[in-house]
Amino acid sequence: MSSTSVPKGTRDFLPDQMSGRKFLLNLLEELFQRHAFLPIETPSMEKIDTLLGKYGEEGDRLIFKVLNRGDRLSRALSSICSQSDIAVKETNSLADAALRYDLTIPFARFISQHRNDLHFPFKRYQIQPVWRADRPQKGRYREFVQCDVDIIGSSSILNELELIQITGEAFSSLGLSDVIVKINHRKLLEGIVTETGTNVPFQKITIVLDKWEKIGLEAVKNELSQAGMKEKEIEVLIRYVHQNTSINSIQTLPSNQMIEAGCSELEQILDWADKYCKVKVELDLKLARGLDYYTGIIIEAIHPEFGSSILGGGRYDNLTGMFGLPGVSGVGISFGADRIYDLLSLKRLLPESPFNRKSVLILNLGAEPEWMIRAASLIRESDAVADIYPDESKLKKQMKFANDKGFDFVVFMGAKERSEGTLKIRNMQSGDELELKSDELSTFFKK
């Protein structure tokens, strides 16, 4: 017998989960559309050199590679086997393609490849699964959905504003009004690091700062020290980034070109966000984001009842450079759809019915099939969901089915109704029953 389970870290989605997921993703998609973002999709597989080297050493290890076939595989194996030492590192020759690890690198490749067919500034959204061979744990899967929104080809901070507006609108529509958006600026952070006088590269420092919420201040200090920062430098860095969380106190920072550039954009965004965004936006100078490619404003959204961030993003000035298209500025955010779903589920904010509209089951109690077929058509014409219980069976069994599935109404024609030429409708919630003529069905469900 074949295996009846799925690979580690992957999931089936049953109808109850699907209805919640669709509710969430449709709401986001509809919002992106109203903001003139257009959808794109990229293949699940990319050429392996498109992906390798883009996510650091750890990332390379987590990429799912697709095994070559036929002659290419034979040749690769012969070559591996002829070596005195079988090195797994060399197994890249076994795979020419790999599953995408995120939506960002494929998007950068996409922009570069199709640059002549796109109109810039280009606003796109993309909702597709990504794959990481990570150790599965609660809330961390090997296949999960990313939901990315980017504007590329414009450096105006009106773009940052729009993304924060979308963030606010999304979470308030979802009923998550206590979400907080944290923002910071990579230039401001770099300006501060410059002021410490350290020789440690900025990127190394942001990787440590990014862990602050997770590991705490003391551990951050230790890691900065391990990264090569002197105690004095660490003290200066921490003093600046730890204490300043209001736009006014930014003014007490030392002044250099990068700090000024960062502050000026942050001030503008915080002012606009206050007026035009349906979400609390806070400056957080500790916010660093882990990814190398950010160069401007960085964004993260958190929910007080949830440990990890549920949205992240920022401005990047040269993402497409590695694909031969340098100097195209963009800004984007990524909704953590799986985490947001978990949060909505925890707070019971997802729709309960698996049907997304009024739903009716036609019971099969020995009425003419023709009658049931016509009744179902009439109900569907009124835009409700209609189903016929396909096999004639006991009333009790069919009622249990209606109840288990979450139908709002059942319609039936028993012996009495058949003799009178009527049918009965029962509201499954209230238990109310009503007698109707067949041709009144469509009107009944329209209201």
Where b means 16+ CB within 10 Å and e means fewer, 184-214 reads: bbbbbbbbbbebbebebebebbbbbbbebbe
Which of helix, strand or coil describes residue 191? helix
Please say which residue, 42 or 194, places its beta carbon nearer to a second copy: 42
Please say which residue, 271 or 432, places its beta carbon nearer to a second copy: 271
| Nearest distance in Å: CB 121, a second copy | 6
Please say which residue, 88 or 447, places its beta carbon nearer to a second copy: 88
Please say which residue, 88 or 327, places its beta carbon nearer to a second copy: 88
Alpha carbon distance 240, 254 (integer Å)? 9
Alpha carbon distance 424, 422 (integer Å)? 7
Please say which residue, 15 or 307, places its beta carbon nearer to a second copy: 15
Please say which residue, 7 or 139, places its beta carbon nearer to a second copy: 7
Strands (E), 250-356: 280-283, 294-302, 311-316, 330-335
CB 74 within 8 Å of CB 81 = no
Residue 354's identity, in one-letter code, is: P
Q: In what order do the strands lie in the sheet with 294-302?
A: 38-39, 122-131, 143-152, 330-335, 311-316, 294-302, 180-185, 280-283
Stated length of the chain: 447
| Nearest distance in Å: CB 141, a second copy | 9
CB 237 within 8 Å of CB 229 = yes
| Nearest distance in Å: CB 386, a second copy | 7
| Nearest distance in Å: CB 84, a second copy | 11
Alpha carbon distance 36, 122 (integer Å)? 10
Question: What is the chain's Cα-based Rg?
Answer: 28
Alpha carbon distance 106, 92 (integer Å)? 19
Please say which residue, 112 or 225, places its beta carbon nearer to a second copy: 112
Q: How far is CA 375 from the centre of its chain?
A: 41
| Nearest distance in Å: CB 114, a second copy | 6
| Nearest distance in Å: CB 252, a second copy | 28
CB 354 within 8 Å of CB 16 = yes
| Nearest distance in Å: CB 249, a second copy | 26
Torsions phi, psi for 260 (to 5 deg): -65, -45
DSSP state letter for 52 = T
Q: Which residues pair with 402 in a beta bridge?
A: none
| Nearest distance in Å: CB 68, a second copy | 9
Please say which residue, 90 or 435, places its beta carbon nearer to a second copy: 90
| Nearest distance in Å: CB 281, a second copy | 15
Please say which residue, 98 or 208, places its beta carbon nearer to a second copy: 98
Which of helix, strand or coil describes residue 171? helix
Please say which residue, 161 or 229, places its beta carbon nearer to a second copy: 161
| Nearest distance in Å: CB 50, a second copy | 5
